[in-house]
Amino acid sequence: MAVSKPYRLEVKVLDASRYKSADPAERKAYAAQLVQGLMQDGFVKIVNHGIPRSVIEEAMATSKRFFSLPDSVKRQIEHVPGPDPQRGWSRVGSESTAKLFGALKENGEVITDTDSKEHFDIGPPTDLKFPNRWLYESEVPAMKAFLEDFYERLHETSMDILAAMELGLGLSAGTFTDRCDQRASELRLNHYPEVVMEHAPREVSRVWPHYDLGIITCLFQDSVGGLEIEDRNHADRFETVDPDPASPDELILNISETFERWTNGIFKAGLHKVRLPPALERTRQTGKELVVPERYSIPFFVKASHETCVGPMDEFISEKRPPMFQPLTALEYQMQRLAKAY
């Protein structure tokens, strides 16, 4: 008698080189699979997205060089907590996704813990209203030039993704991408410091369950692991999105809140969190003290131009599906949400 394998959510892996194909049918098939995967799970993985592995490796190396600096140095460009778009360095514990998503509870109790990470954020180099903050060149040589170039690469890749989503949904070219023409997306470097622990399960929650605020998020992660996404087929269940050693340049893509609003709830934002890496979870259960290793990740939060409406688009409104969300501008919405995270 055949023994069935235990159920496990398998996030779709898509090859973005198909979108560059000269064959229209191949492009359309890729776009349809992209839309299907995002609608079904809120997440997909993308390979051959156009950003070289060497560039991603350099981004991780730059992140490590920056976070290895003393806090006294990083404090020179510290982000002031508040509703403005994040720029510069945010210390460990400065942000609380648990507060931002206070409706999400654990054991019936609202969680207000802060996140166990520090991060560095930049917006578009042309943003004069919310300018980027940089250390002196001598602190991390070439960091500014490299990250500005990396930002542009990620912008181009994300616009290709949104264009493919337009194709997969049968929408006119520019339906999504034209709403990003002023460039308000944000690039973040995340560092989760090492933690020594014994028997405190809640301490291993590095980031509580949350949704991202933008349109979509493009994420690169290191080999440590710990990212978990909601399994929509099983209530209150999360599934680990393991890093693929054979594909370290794999991009993890998720739907964010603005896209849910644009599509009037047809697409749901992807719920996710960061927990103890699976291998260490098994160690914890033996009762031994353990060290949770430091973790690095790089998300690119794709956001609509500041004055663009983030209410439902006409294409997704009907008599049977009236507007579900208030028509705010992207900046108004972001500032409302960020104000709750501090």
Which pLDDT score, from 0 to 100, does residue 7 have?
60
Question: Structural domain of residue 322, as residue ranges?
Answer: 13-341
Residue 212 within any structural domain of the chain:
yes
Which of residues 61 and 116 earns the better pLDDT score? 61
Digit-coded pLDDT (tens) for 237-260: 888 888 888 888 999 999 999 999
- Say what the pLDDT of residue 75 is: 96
pLDDT digits (tens, 9 = 90+) for 261-299: 999 999 999 999 888 776 666 666 656 667 788 999 999
Q: Give the model's pLDDT for residue 159.
A: 98
Section 71-98 average pLDDT:
87
Instruction: Give residue-wise pLDDT tens across range 137-163.
Output: 999 999 999 999 999 999 999 999 999
Question: Which of 1-5, 162-166, 206-210 has the lowest average pLDDT?
Answer: 1-5
Is residue 198 assigned to a domain?
yes
Q: What confidence score (pLDDT) does residue 288 get?
A: 65
**Do the domain assignments include residue 3?**
no
Question: What pLDDT was estimated at residue 60?
Answer: 97
Mean pLDDT of 217-221: 97
CA pseudo-torsion sign 105, 109, 110, 113: negative
Residues β-bridged to residue 239: 229
Q: How many domains does the chain have?
A: 1
| 74 within domain boundaries | yes
Has residue 104 got a pLDDT over 70? Answer: no
Question: Mean pLDDT across the stretch 17-37?
Answer: 96
Check residue 254 and give its pLDDT. 98
CATH number at residue 322: 2.60.120.330
- Does 123 map to a domain? yes
Average pLDDT of every residue of the chain = 88
Q: What's residue 245's pLDDT?
A: 83
